[in-house]
Amino acid sequence: MNPTMQLPVEQVAKVVRRHLVTQRDSDASEDADHAHADHSEITVHDTNQPHHGDSHSIDSTIRNAYKLPGGSIVDGIYKWTAHVESERKQRLLRSQSISFPIPEQSSTHDLSQRLKQPGGFRRHYVLSKAAKQGRKPPNLWTNSFAEFLCLYGHFGGEDLSDDDELESSSDEDEEAVIGYGSSILNEASSSKTPSLNRTASTSYKRKSNHDRAAIASTSGRRRTSEATPLLSKPKNNPPAGGTATPAKAVFLLLKSFVTTGIMFLPKAFYNGGLIFSILGMIFIAAISLYSFLSLVETRTAVPAGFGDMGGVLFGSKMRMAVLICITLSQIGFVCAYMSFVAENLQSLILTFSKCRVSIPLHVLILAQCFVFIPLAMIRKIQRLSVFALIADVFIVIGLMYLYYYDFYTMATSGVADISFFSAERFPLFIGTTIFTYEGIGLVIPITEAMKEPKRLPQVLWRTMAFITLLFSTMGAISYMAFGDNVQTIVLLNLPAKDPGVSTIIALYSLAICLSIPLQLFPAIRIMENGLFTTRSGKNNTIVKWEKNVFRVAVVFMCAWVSIVGSKDKLDKFVALVGTLFCAPLCFLFPPLFHLKAAAKSYLRKCADVAVMLFGLLCMLYGTAMVLVQWNSSVGIDPIKRCIARST
């Protein structure tokens, strides 16, 4: 079956003309002509004007196009629309009884008409070359470049949407932003082509369109007028297919999971006990994998982003709940990372000052704001990709050195005193593990980016197996190396007198600093979409500065939360973020959505309910136990710790 969408030529030309620059005939004022020459809004010509008047208007339109940037490139579009309009009016003069185009019967004439369209020769060459080589013709979703403009509103490489869309067109949409700052993922999916052929089941298609329309109307992000095209680019529908291979998907998953959380795992093993922690890691990894696969299946039935998926299935309140959890979890990550960097900086300063100078953590946290505020002003996540790449390199170096020193410590000093299970502190282990495994937001973007999405389940379980092995060995080996003396950040257990340790701590801290803007980006974009609903700052300096002030306030708010949660409570703060915000994202929403949209068998429904109950238990019981133990820890003087590390 041919998936291309058949559109009447005149309808295509009419919609495309809305994006063209036109100039009205006006002998009254020369200035009015120049004003219209630079105006990109829609101008519809009166079909009752005489033909010679239209000819003058068409010529004026074509001349004006050359004044635009890249005007010579788009000249063919102007000429084609003018030709279609001219033929239409000639038919009206010949016969007023025909109000619709007569379909052509001659295949030769049809071919010549297609060749005359913009990009026609190129399309004909591609199809002919495929036929000569015996290959399957490429999947062309539209019959011409003009139809593509009609359907998607792109013109000359620019998005001619309204101001609100223009401001966010370079950013990921709020559901794509849920990719948690994975800018490399954007590169993997940047070459994807929009699709008109959707895989959504008919049972949810009508409801999906209705709910999305309701969501769009309540958010107020798009202003409509008489000039608004009826056919616009769909925001949340999945693309036709990506280009990412399974190897690249594995890399993206590893990049998203292996971050700061792995540095908290040795302390988490201390809180849970060695045997319980190893078994708990495997169990939580299996539950996380089930949630990931459930979300992939749900997306097949409801092709939407994570938040809109909840809106389609349960209404706008569920969509809001998902977005709130995403926002708060991202802010929690940023706060934990700021505390992580501050403690490492404090350790470095003590090391270089020979344990004489100790700068308070809150000062170091506030100092980071002056670094992150300029980065928070970046509105294109692609510009942060270089920071992500550098951070990945530093993280790998830090992990390799930590493995080396753990084995070296056990080889020289033996295994430290350890426990197999801790009945009092195990909820802290659960929260930290959920924090470490949280990565549900990347599942949908990676699915869309893959060339063969059906291979994603195999990629997921293999990647999760490797990550579980990495996390378990890192937590267990470091715990066995340092025992009860293990620090919340295991890097602080390394000897301060070793110059290589200072280098590793500095590189790892720098890596986390470079990761913080990527973690903060989704939260800021989601909050801006909710607060600045009807105004755009693209051409409004006041609104733009309001958004800048808002971003500065978010950075300082993260610093304040980090200060509150950092003083001898970093392990508890990480566990609280995991149980309160990450648990519903990973264990509550995916099985709930799968239960309603994709669960067919009784066994799968029972599994969904069981995972939801587990997520609810982690959220309620884990959060309560973390709060009960919030003030139970005893602070360690940084100077005394520095002296102990130096001996």
pLDDT digits (tens, 9 = 90+) for 586-630: 999 999 999 999 898 999 999 999 999 999 999 999 999 988 888
DSSP character string of 445-508? HHHHHBSSGGGHHHHHHHHHHHHHHHHHHHHHHHHHHHGGG--SSGGGGS-TT-HHHHHHHHHH
Mean pLDDT, residues 424-438 taken together: 90
Task: List pLDDT tens digits, range 119-167.
Answer: 677 777 878 887 888 777 766 555 555 555 444 443 333 333 434 444 4
Q: What is the model's pLDDT at position 640?
A: 66
Q: 516: buried, middle or exposed (CB in 10 Å: 19+, 13-18, 0-12)? A: buried
Euclidean distance between CA atoms 190 and 462, whole angstroms: 26
> Which comes out higher in pLDDT, residue 391 or 320?
320
* 551-560 CB burial, b ≥16 within 10 A, e <16: beebbeebbe
**pLDDT at res. 390:** 76
For residues 302-307, average pLDDT: 86
CB 93 within 8 A of CB 87: no
**pLDDT value, residue 592:** 95
Query: What value does the mean pLDDT take over residues 436-453?
Result: 81
pLDDT of amino acid 470: 93
**Residue 345 structure tokens:** 């900086």
Mean pLDDT (whole number) for 554-576 = 86
In sequence order, what are the beta bridge partners of 154? Answer: 159
**Which secondary-structure segment (H or E) carries 577?**
helix 570-577
pLDDT digits (tens, 9 = 90+) for 333-357: 999 889 988 988 988 888 888 888 8
CA–CA separation, 309 and 319 (whole Å)? 7
pLDDT for the residue numbered 26: 35
> What's the burial of 163, exposed, middle or buried (CB within 10 Å: 0-12/13-18/19+)?
middle
Q: Which of 405, 554, 563 is nearest to 494 (CA)?
A: 405
When pLDDT is averaged across residues 355-373 and rounded to a whole number, the result is: 88
Task: Provide the pLDDT for residue 64.
Answer: 57
* Phi-psi group of 325: left, alpha or beta (phi > 0 → left; psi -120 to 50 → alpha; rest → beta): alpha
Go through the chain and tell me how many residues it has: 647
The structure tokens 């344990």 sit at 355
Cα end-to-end distance, the chain, whole Å: 76
Coil, helix or strand for 244? strand
Helices marked H in 315-379 — which ranges? Answer: 316-352, 361-376
Across 28-51, average pLDDT: 41
pLDDT at 448 over 70: yes
Strand, helix or coil at 602? helix
Banded model confidence at residue 519, pLDDT cuts 50, 70, 90: confident
- pLDDT at residue 287 in the model: 94
Using only C-alpha atoms, what is the Rg of the chain? 29
Pick the residue with more confidence: 53 or 116? 116
pLDDT of residue 67: 59
Average pLDDT, the chain: 74
Instruction: Kindly report the three-state secondary structure assignment for every residue of 492-510.
Output: HHCCCCCHHHHHHHHHHHH
**276 or 534, greater pLDDT:** 276
Could you state, in order of their start, the residue ranges of all structural domains in the chain?
1-160, 246-646
Taking phi over 0 as left and psi of -120 to 50 as alpha, with beta for the rest, 616 belongs to alpha
Phi-psi region of 535 (alpha: psi -120 to 50; beta: other; left: phi over 0): beta
Question: According to the per-residue pLDDT averaged within each range, which of 29-38, 183-192, 380-389 is highest?
Answer: 380-389
Residue 171 burial class via C-beta count within 10 angstroms: exposed 0-12, middle 13-18, buried 19 and up: buried
User: 303: Cβ–Cβ under 8 A, 6 or more apart, which residues?
Assistant: 198, 199, 200, 208, 236, 237, 238
Question: What integer pLDDT is reported at residue 194 of this predicted model?
Answer: 33
If pLDDT is split at 50, 70 and 90, which confidence band does 539 have?
low
What does the pLDDT average to over 515-543?
77
**Above pLDDT 70, what percent of the chain?**
64
How confident is the model over 51-66, as pLDDT tens digits? 444 444 445 545 555 5
Write out the CATH class of domain 246-646: mainly alpha
20: nearest Cα among 76, 65, 67, 84:
65
Distances (CA, A) of 466 to 258, 423, 470, 642: 11, 28, 6, 35
Contact 262, 436 (CB under 8 A): yes
Among residues 438, 428, 422, 437, which one has the least CA distance to residue 576?
428
Share of the chain above pLDDT 90, in %: 24
| SS3 sequence of 152-181 | HCEECCEECCCHHHHHHHCCCCCCCHHHCC
Kind and range of the H or E run holding 141: none
d(CA 499, CA 487) in angstroms, rounded, equals 20
Task: Identify the residue with better confidence: 240 or 377.
Answer: 377
Instruction: Identify the weakest region by mean pLDDT among 103-117, 174-188, 304-318, 346-360.
Output: 174-188
User: In 3D, which of 333, 315, 392, 317 has the Cα closest to residue 520?
Assistant: 333
Specify the long-range contacts of residues 349-356, CB closer than 8 Å, at least 24 apart. Answer: 350/496, 350/638, 350/639, 350/642, 351/496, 351/502, 351/642, 351/645, 351/646, 352/502, 354/646, 355/639, 355/642, 355/643, 355/646
The pTM is what?
0.64
- Cβ neighbour number for residue 116 with a 10 Å cutoff: 15
Q: What is the pLDDT of residue 559?
A: 92
List b or e across 28-53, with b for residues whose CB sees 16 or more CB atoms inside 10 angstroms: eeeeebeebbeeeebbebeeeeeeee
140-161 per-residue burial string, b: 16 or more CB within 10 A, e: under 16: bbbbbbbbbbbbbbbbeeeebb
Task: Answer for the pair 44, 182: CB distance below 8 angstroms, yes or no.
Answer: no
| 144-148, 368-372, 579-583: segment of lowest average pLDDT | 144-148
Q: Which residues contact 554 (CB under 8 A, 6 or more apart)?
A: 331, 376, 520, 523, 524, 527
